[in-house]
Chains A and B, each alone.
Chain A
Amino acid sequence: MMLELSQLSHRFALTEVLAGINLTLPAGESVALVGPSGCGKTTMLNLIAGLDRPSEGRIENRYAATAYVFQQPRLLPWKTALDNIALGLKARRVGRQEWEARAAALGRRLGLTGADLDKFPHALSGGMQSRVALARALALEPDLLLLDEPFSALDVGLKAELYALLLAEVMARGTSVLMITHDLMEAVRLSDRILMMAPAPGRIVGEFRLERAQAERDEAWIYHSTAAFMRTPEVRAGFGLPPPPHPSPAGGGGQGGGLPPAAASSRGPEKKAEMSCGAH
């Protein structure tokens, strides 16, 4: 089972949004797509999900079940949370008793109460709606999960909780994941490989492997790796950041573990002060 994109290009009218994308996603791997807005990340996911046909190139998806979690929850407003979760199961003609049981069990695992499951989407909070949208995708027991920043509108705590729930499911089933994210630390935390994309036309300009197993990634390692990642020329060029001011201090930032490099990197002179604070 794997996903293979070869020489994939896509155009909307005369605008070229993707050009010459090559990507192989073997079973069990998590890949994060990062890059500035408008570089064709969502288009790429839509093409893989079959919502659009590529203008050129080939997509070979040999995964048995692909599920897509959109950027917004996109629940059917006239269906209860339970019915929304079971949408894909009903499409597969799973019997009523079975889909009810599976959807309810999954909903509860993701933190929805019985009362929540009977509610219509408008009565649920944003966090609850995201849980339902995630449950709808996981209900398919996918081999490949496409995530388009599904939790970007949620607060930090909720986001962390939902990612933890997601990771537990993904780990248990060995699901492959292709995720879009704007949060580099999230990419470092959750993926085996990060692909840096650049716009006009959308293309892959860099690939970074994270060798450490996900279970062994502690906060210090994540901060350290994110900082290192942020300093690579591909990332700086891709996001239009100035070239790295200090090429080397990789060790110092990582040890303290409390310094978010994203906050420090844009302010040259203050950065030094904060860093030395962290080292004390």
Chain B
Amino acid sequence: MNLLRAWATGIPAYLWSGWGAVASLMMLLALWDWGSQLYGDLVLPSPLATFDTLAGLLAEGGAWQELAVTARRALAGFALSLAVGSVLGLLAGLSMTASMMSRPIVTVLVGMPPIAWLVLALLWFGAGDATPVFTVFIACFPIIFVGALQGTRTLDDQLKDVARAYRLPARMTLTDVYLPHVLSYLFPAWIAALGMSWKIVVMAELLSTPDGVGAALAVSRAHLDTAASMAWIAAVVGLLLAVEYLVLEPVKREVESWREVQ
């Protein structure tokens, strides 16, 4: 509850601090517009044309649905890997043997290209929700797992001794000693995984499903409709930025307010 209130009251000041980010995004738009003037609308539609098309797509109503489908899949896969990866990583970190055993496996998982998982998922699950959700899950899992593992392994032994000398019950040791430290490793991992989940879900949809933003991108590509392709890309990136900067970042700031450097 406290967290929610802090989040809500912190938003205006936080947004105000975002002018620097806005300025740099504007530079990017200017560059984009310059490229479009250089190469023409067919190769690179101007930002204005892109956002026009996006507004049109959204006004028609169908776009919201596609975005919702994509968001559902991305967030489902992300939530799954967040839950499984955080818990397993924490548990593995508590035991020296488990963390040594899991390292090589995680390295293999990280090294495996997502497209390979996608092919396997297509064979296993066919063209349904399960394929993109699984691909997102398996691509995000190792990132989060490693974050939780490292967070647990790096907790200061001296603080563990404090927990024992002051007879902290197991639950309190977890919530008051382990979790705050592990969270500082987990949050960056979560944010990286979230970005990953949006990229993977669009790729998976492009190849495997009849609906969602990825499928819409496949259609617009088939029609050589560059403006619509750019519009979909802008929509996905916009959603990702919104989730990351409006939800995860402020929560992170609040949770880590004890840190010296923000």
A138 CB to closest chain B CB (Å) equals 12
Decide yes or no whether A76 CB sits under 8 A from chain B: yes
Number of B residues, CB within 8 Å of A: 19
Chain A 74-87, CB-CB to B under 8 Å as 1, else 0, gives 10111100000001
Given contacts A70-B158, A72-B158, contact A136 B166 (CB under 8 A): yes
A residues near B167, Cβ cutoff 8 Å = 88, 91-92
Decide yes or no whether B258 CB sits under 8 A from chain A: yes
- Starting from the known contacts A77-B259, A78-B181, A91-B166, 13 additional A-B residue pairs (CB-CB under 8 Å) come to A50-B165, A67-B166, A70-B161, A74-B161, A79-B176, A87-B168, A88-B166, A88-B167, A91-B169, A91-B172, A122-B258, A136-B166, A140-B166
Contact of A74 (CB < 8 Å), options: B159, B169, B260: B159
Which B147-196 residues sit within 8 Å CB-CB of chain A?
158-159, 161-162, 164-169, 172, 176-177, 180-181
B162 CB to closest chain A CB (Å) equals 5
For the complex of A and B, 10 pairs with smallest distance between CB atoms: A78-B180, A78-B258, A68-B165, A88-B166, A120-B258, A122-B260, A91-B168, A49-B165, A74-B162, A74-B158
Contact of B165 (CB < 8 Å), options: A51, A77, A79, A122: A51
Number of A residues, CB within 8 Å of B: 22
A residues near B168, Cβ cutoff 8 Å = 87, 91
Q: Give the dominant DSSP class at B's interface.
A: helix
Bound state CA distance, A49 and B160, in angstroms? Answer: 13
Bound state CA distance, A46 and B162, in angstroms? Answer: 11
A147 CB to closest chain B CB (Å) equals 13
A122 CB to closest chain B CB (Å) equals 5
Cβ-closest chain A residue relative to B183: A78
B246 CB to closest chain A CB (Å) equals 24
B residues near A77, Cβ cutoff 8 Å = 258-259
Bound state CA distance, A90 and B258, in angstroms? Answer: 20
The reply to whether A70 and B172 form a contact with Cβ atoms under 8 Å apart is no
Bound state CA distance, A266 and B38, in angstroms? Answer: 85
